Amino acid sequence: MQVTVAELRILALEEQHSMDRAEGLAWARKADAFGALTRLFSRPRDEDFELIYKERRYQPFWHVACNAYYGYERRGEYQITLRGPEVQSVTIQGADYDAQNASISLSGVEHCRESARAEFYVDALTGAKEPALAEYANYPSQTASLQDLNALRSEGVLVVPPQLASTGIVREAIGGLVRRVVADEITEEVLEVQRLDLYYRPVYAFQYRWISKEREAFMEYDALNGKFTTDGKSFQEYAEAPIDAELVADLDAETVSQLVPGGQLAVKTEAPSSGKRRG
């Protein structure tokens, strides 16, 4: 099996909106964090609220893309219907074939090639596939190292470590590429890990207290697309958590080969007993 592996990249997406702007916009909509109906019936004033916590963080997700190519051969018989019962035999490329029931049978070898692709975006904390994350890959980014991420922490940015390792994300992608093929011989197996990127996207979070009701709620602001969500949370528990270098380890061809289930991308299955083709 031929295996090629792209270099693992860590990409820090560049903030499109500032923290100050986000804080001002969030304050104007702070009551929304407690629910639209609550705001409608309570009609709170600004002095009813206070900002008790804010967080600037980088949150990880994986993007993986793999291609697979399979080449194989299989024997086949081809039944060709002739023009009528008057045809007694047919000569094809110098070989004579006797007709039976107004048809002849030919034997041959089929040379086949197929391809498959697996590509997805995965939340690096939960392992959930989230196609919507593809939007972020269109924003400007900077290649980063673990040292760069640690430098961000020194600036007060919370860098959330991934919980899903590079090996895990590639293993899952490869698992979807294994194919069962009707073949006598596998002649080619090619696996390409075309892309293996760990993205970090910027998010701002604000926690408010509704003083008179003694309630607290979070609001998040996406620093890329400028969208608010009111079901956010704090990631403070990751403030001091280091990023495990093994989780973002670069992979080589040998390691990736070991991730292929059974060591084969194309698994041979027997041809149906009635393997004739009609012409």
Q: What is the pLDDT of residues 110-134, one digit of tens each?
A: 999 999 999 999 999 999 999 999 9
Q: Domain ranges for the chain, please list them.
A: 2-278
CA neighbours closer than 13 Å in the CB half-sphere of residue 126:
6
Q: What are the pLDDT digits (tens) for 197-243?
A: 999 999 999 999 999 888 899 999 999 999 999 888 889 888 888 88
Query: Are the C-beta atoms of 279 and 193 separated by less than 8 Å?
Result: no
Rounded to an integer, the average pLDDT of 132-159 is 92
What was the pLDDT predicted at 273?
53
pLDDT for 42: 66
d(CA 139, CA 134) in angstroms, rounded, equals: 10
Percentage of the chain lying above the pLDDT 90 cut: 72
pLDDT score for 151? 86
Place of tokens 């295996």: 3
pLDDT on residue 125: 93
Report d(CA 190, CA 174) in Å as an integer: 12
DSSP string, 128-171: -B-GGGGGGGGS-EEEE-HHHHHHHHHTT-EEPPPSS-HHHHHH
pLDDT at 76 over 50: yes
Would you say residue 276 has pLDDT above 70?
Answer: no
Q: Are 196 and 47 in contact (CB under 8 A)?
A: no
% of the chain exceeding 70 in pLDDT = 94
Q: Check residue 39 and give its pLDDT.
A: 58
